[in-house]
Structure 1
Amino acid sequence: MKILVVDDMPLMRHVMINMLRRLKYKDITEATDGAQALRLLKAHNFDLLITDLNMPRMSGKELIGNVRQDQKLTGLAIVVVTCDDNKQTILNLISEKIDGMIVKPFTLNTLQKQLQYVANRRDKLPL
């Protein structure tokens, strides 16, 4: 599985990447904001996008909107990682057709369960 991790905070990116490696994921690329992520998504094939919401230049919400509007990227699995657990934010993200959401701070177990949920959900959906 090829994964793109997007967060403007280097520490958060490294925490996520280290957790993914502990879960035996090896093909991981990182981006510092939505604009860089979009360029990478258009240039390479990824199976999963894990993105923060609040970032400079292009927010995670804008990135998700761009991904869902691009015919080549529309089927990409997306997991959002955010510290915002506001009900309206969650409803807005669901309307953007994300596959999963993790609220910061989170544990390795939480990440593993969310990735398993996305994998199970994706197995049942035609892409």
Structure 2
Amino acid sequence: MRVLVVDDMPLMRHVLTNMLRKLDFKHVDEATNGEQALKMLKKKRYNLVLTDLHMPKISGKDLFLSIRANEKWNDIAVIVVSCEDQKEVVTDLIKAKVDGFIVKPFNFATLQKQLDLVFKEDQKATHS
């Protein structure tokens, strides 16, 4: 399974990447913003994108909407990882069918739980 971690903060990318590797995700790439992530999505096939919301150039929300709008990518699971606390923003993402939402700061167990939920739902959809 290929994972793309998108965050403009190097420390957050490092933390997420290390947590994912501890969860046995072996193919983890990093992007510093939504613009770089879109370029990488055009070159490689990813199963999961973990993205921050507030980034320069292309925001995480715009990245997510671009993924959902592209037929080739709309089966990619997207989890937003953000310190966003505005209810409307979170509600809009849920309405747009974001697969998961993790509020910063978070711990290993929170990430693991979100991934379990996302991929459990994914398995239900493919088996029904």
TM range (shorter): over 0.9
Q: Match of 1:125, SS?
A: helix
* Aligned match of 2:83: 83
Identity %: 51
Q: What TM-score do you get using the length of structure 1 for normalisation?
A: 0.96
* Aligned match of 1:28: 28
1:96 shift after superposition: 1.8
**Matches of 1:44 and 1:9, distance apart in 2:** 22
1:86 shift after superposition: 2.2
Residue pairs, 1:33-48, within 5 angstroms: 33-48=33-48
Q: Match of 2:67, SS?
A: helix
Q: Deviations over 1:78-125 (max 9, x none)?
A: 000000132111111112211001000000000000000001011112
Q: CA RMSD for the aligned pairs?
A: 1.2
- In structure 1, stretches of 5+ residues that fail to align are none
Q: Deviations over 1:33-77 (max 9, x none)?
A: 000001111111000000000000000011011111111011110
**Matches of 1:108 and 1:88, distance apart in 2:** 27
State the AA in 2 paired with 1:93: L
